[in-house]
Structure 1
Amino acid sequence: MIIRTRRFLRSPLFPIFMIVFVDVLGFAITIPVLPLYVQGEFGATAVQITSLSTVFFSAQLIATPQLGRLSDRVGRRPVLIISQFGSFLALLLSGLAPGLAYLYVARIIDGLTGGNISVAQAYLSDVTDRQNRTSGMGIINVAFNSSLLIGPAFGGLVAARFGPRVPFLLAAALALFTIALSYFLLPEPEKREPKARQTAQTDPLPRGNGRKLTAVLLLPGMFLLLTITLADRVGFMIYQPTWVLWAETLLFSGRDPAFVQQAVGWIMTLIGASGIATQVWLVGPLTRKMGEKRMVFTGTLMRGTAWGLMALLPMVGPTLLAAPLIGIGGAIGLPALTSLVTYVAPPDQQGYAIGLLQASKGIGRIVGSMIGGLVFQLLSPSATLGVAAMISFALLLAIIQLPEESSAKVVCAPTNKTL
């Protein structure tokens, strides 16, 4: 065990692990801290707060494919270092911001250089063979889930004790550490996979002529799957950026912002832990027993129920009951949705289809964060959760219309061209 640990720490896998961990940690710590930080320090409204998410995801949607193509041309290592430097600047600027405008600049920088994970995936594809690729990609999943588990609680605890700026500065220090790791320990891969193969991994907005786009969208169930994905992300992003504001206004009304940040951090850790436990122990058996379509239906129903429960009963007890449903529902439904897309698309179109799926998620995040702030500010705090729940329940009607997995697999089965 000790020998394996030493090998891992000396291998390129350790810098990759840290790159993904710090990248996601920088995002995760903002969830409980950023809304109240911006509200308390700069008097920001709900729309201004959620706009920080909007500009981040907009910049990320535009820049991620460009960073992927750049890594094909100049190499993975320099692009990863540049991306980390962008994360460092964004976190440092967030922690030192003298005004709201500086936070917008920080979020744009973070989004424009936010291709760390996709380029890290491409790097692992370059340095692993087919037999070891799954375990290599598992390192990214461990880093991603660990930071989502630690980040909210870490951000809330540090903000409560030392102030809301300190979590950003600590995350910036970690980003600086990963830059040093990458510079000294991360070699450029000897071989890079052909760009056509890497595009499926790095490009969330694939390029292609109208005929190719039409052909993919006309695959049975594909347009409906992409629409469900987009609407699902809209509902989630209506809830997520405003949830801390909802907790401060209703769940912990009258409590100190430091207490709210800490409490929300722990609740979000509960959500993350529930999701990770579900991924590790339940997703495999449930998929074999239920199939992907029922998994998507069940996951969507669970999250809609959780948001509806919190909207109707904004109290600590119901919230603690609802929180695990959000994590479990996401862990059950979201991977199954991706699997259905790969079933619908034939092998030679799967990369393009996954790119369209990622684009649908990106657009949904942008639209949802815009709507969330408006609903919170113009209607009521609980209206955001109510709207998210209604979107989820409406999606159940669409999910019922999806083709069964067996039919989808038949559609994408290879054809015998000699017939």
Structure 2
Amino acid sequence: MDERDSVAILPDDETATNGSCLGQEDAVRTTGSLRARCACKCPLPVSVEPVLFLSMFSLALQAPLSTQYLWDRISEDLGYNGSKTSDCSNSSLLPDPLQKEVETLTAHWNLYISLGGFSIGLLVVPLLGSWSDLAGRRAVLILPNLGLALQAVVYLVVMYLKLPVVYFLLGRLLSGLSGDFNAILAGCFSYIADTSDRSSRTFRVAILEACLGLSGMLASIIGGQWRRAQGYINPFWLVLATNLAAALYAYLFVCESVVPDPSAKLFTFRHYKAVWHLFSTGGSASDAGGRFHRWKLWLYTLCFFLVVTVHFGSRDLYVLYELSSPLCWGPALIGYGSAAQHLAYLTSLLGLKIMQRCLEDSWVAVVGLASNITGLVVFSIADTTGLMFTGYGLCFLFVAATPVLRSKLSKLVDPSEQGALFASVACVEGLCTLVGSGLFNSLYPATLHFMKGFPFLFAAIILLIPAGIIGTLECLDKRREHRDS
């Protein structure tokens, strides 16, 4: 028997619904004994939301600054300063070959750094996520934040000593070995699955998504202004402090949602086997739904993969697109643009709550995808600041699809399989980052000569696939329900 079979998670209606354990003595049946579900009392009315908020704040603060630092260092090495001249916004001039070289090298270095970090994270994240089913969720919240803090230290050393940008890759590798930000996502969403019931799960997941947006919006505004006033080094000290604060909060205040097993081993193939078993058989819940249930699990995972790949891949290009001609944005406008993008997390939460009153979750996701598609189409032809911000405005519901997909996947498996599921989702999310960064950072320089915004148009076309799958599955579900009744 697998060691994870000795602990069974309580059904949804027997778990806490307020986001934390609140010190109750919920019992979890084990082989021959009953043990308390929670390992400690939670002194705060929130659970993992502050951890995700702080971690995302750190990530959103450093991501645009890292790209701008790469741009400035490569420009300095090549002797390019075109973006600082008045000719940059003059669209009548021929494209500067040196600018194209800077754009290409910056995109390639973004690609190398992303590939290096997330290829390792792709192996580590499912290991940590499945292990948290036995060892507890807090470890998966603490270790990745410490890894991200170590990455910030490496970046600071590079900036202080003006080392070659290849050392950025070393920082990403160290962060990937600790699970990176995807492991934090896996731990937080697993925790919410542990502590929420089926009826409230979609909105609870959406609250976590809103935490991502709020922290990202604040970090983007602060980062753009701060970089213009004081350069790159001081903001990265805040990145380091924020990751350490998130790890400390998780250690002091987050209550365990599962009973830790002291004998749980981290380095074992059983964790990978648990993930494979879930998708090869459809899990225990597939007994009721048969083959259709297993196909739904795969199809919703495919939808999640496509949506998140587009999110991650296009996100890497916004700063490059805005830095270069004809937009030629400075740090302040880049910060405002990133803030507008993250504001959509809050508008999506509000829109999801309103649309749930009259629409099924599936149709809420389709509306969110339609919002994303229209915004991407506008980005693909944006050549003025006003048009660029119009695209950001049209994307006001673009995050509504991901909490729906996470919730639907969670509801397809038994409560005892939530950890293995979110380990799988974390693995898919790591793969999304890998594929998205590789695809879009390669596509952008390759299409500069005929359509600068083509990657955004390509992303919009991709999103038509999950929109069609989600709508079709919802129609099939309604038909089955009508036939069974």
Aligned residue number for residue 49 of structure 1: 110
Identify the match of residue 124 of structure 2 among 63, 77, 85: 63
Any idea what the Cα deviations from partners look like across 1:225-282, whole Å, max 9, x if unmatched?
33333233333333211210110113533x6xxxx222111112122223303313x2
Matched, 1:110 2:175: yes
Aligned residue number for residue 230 of structure 2: 162
Matches within 5 A, 1:10-409: 11=43, 16-42=48-74, 44-72=105-133, 74-78=135-139, 80-97=141-158, 98-113=163-178, 114=180, 115-120=183-188, 140=208, 143-181=211-249, 185-186=252-253, 189=256, 192=259, 206-208=275-277, 211-212=280-281, 219-253=294-328, 260-280=330-350, 282-326=351-395, 328-341=396-409, 345=412, 347=414, 351=418, 356-380=424-448, 383=451, 385-396=453-464, 399-401=467-469, 402-405=471-474, 407-408=476-477
The secondary structure found in structure 2 opposite 1:330 is coil
Deviation at 1:32, TM superposition (A): 2.2
Alpha-carbon distance between aligned partners in 1 of 2:273 and 2:62, rounded to the nearest angstrom:
24
Aligned residue number for residue 198 of structure 1: none
Root mean square deviation, CA, Å: 4.1
Alpha-carbon distance between aligned partners in 1 of 2:59 and 2:466, rounded to the nearest angstrom:
31
Equivalent residue letter for 1:59: I
Alpha-carbon distance between aligned partners in 1 of 2:219 and 2:386, rounded to the nearest angstrom:
23
Deviation at 1:411, TM superposition (A): 6.4
Equivalent residue letter for 1:294: W
Alpha-carbon distance between aligned partners in 1 of 2:204 and 2:301, rounded to the nearest angstrom:
28
Deviation at 1:84, TM superposition (A): 2.6
Label 1:242 to 1:121 Cα distance change in 2 as closer, same or farther (>3 A).
closer
Alpha-carbon distance between aligned partners in 1 of 2:434 and 2:108, rounded to the nearest angstrom:
13
Alpha-carbon distance between aligned partners in 2 of 1:204 and 1:20, rounded to the nearest angstrom:
28
Larger radius of gyration: 2
Alpha-carbon distance between aligned partners in 1 of 2:480 and 2:421, rounded to the nearest angstrom:
14
Equivalent residue letter for 2:240: A
- Indicate if the aligned counterparts of 2:65 and 2:232 stay in contact, CA closer than 8 A: yes
Structure 2 portions without partners, runs of 5+: 1-21, 23-41, 76-104, 265-270, 284-289
Label 1:203 to 1:292 Cα distance change in 2 as closer, same or farther (>3 A).
farther
Label 1:304 to 1:156 Cα distance change in 2 as closer, same or farther (>3 A).
same
- Indicate if the aligned counterparts of 2:308 and 2:429 stay in contact, CA closer than 8 A: yes
Greater per-residue helix proportion:
1
Equivalent residue letter for 2:342: G
Deviation at 1:362, TM superposition (A): 2.9
Return the TM-score normalized by structure 2: 0.67
Alpha-carbon distance between aligned partners in 1 of 2:272 and 2:438, rounded to the nearest angstrom:
24
- Indicate if the aligned counterparts of 2:111 and 2:441 stay in contact, CA closer than 8 A: yes
Label 1:272 to 1:112 Cα distance change in 2 as closer, same or farther (>3 A).
same
Equivalent residue letter for 1:63: V
How many residue pairs get aligned? The number is 390
- Indicate if the aligned counterparts of 1:226 and 1:356 stay in contact, CA closer than 8 A: no
Deviation at 1:28, TM superposition (A): 0.7
Alpha-carbon distance between aligned partners in 2 of 1:299 and 1:13, rounded to the nearest angstrom:
30
Equivalent residue letter for 1:206: V
Alpha-carbon distance between aligned partners in 2 of 1:334 and 1:368, rounded to the nearest angstrom:
16
Label 1:189 to 1:232 Cα distance change in 2 as closer, same or farther (>3 A).
closer
The share of aligned pairs that are identical, in percent, is 16
Alpha-carbon distance between aligned partners in 1 of 2:360 and 2:107, rounded to the nearest angstrom:
40
- Indicate if the aligned counterparts of 1:31 and 1:152 stay in contact, CA closer than 8 A: no
Aligned residue number for residue 267 of structure 2: none
Aligned residue number for residue 199 of structure 1: none
Alpha-carbon distance between aligned partners in 2 of 1:292 and 1:76, rounded to the nearest angstrom:
28
When structure 1 is superposed on structure 2, of 84-93 and 218-227 the one drifting more is 218-227
Label 1:84 to 1:319 Cα distance change in 2 as closer, same or farther (>3 A).
same
Deviation at 1:179, TM superposition (A): 4.3
Aligned residue number for residue 89 of structure 2: none
Deviation at 1:386, TM superposition (A): 2.4
When structure 1 is superposed on structure 2, of 203-212 and 60-69 the one drifting more is 203-212
Alpha-carbon distance between aligned partners in 1 of 2:234 and 2:426, rounded to the nearest angstrom:
33
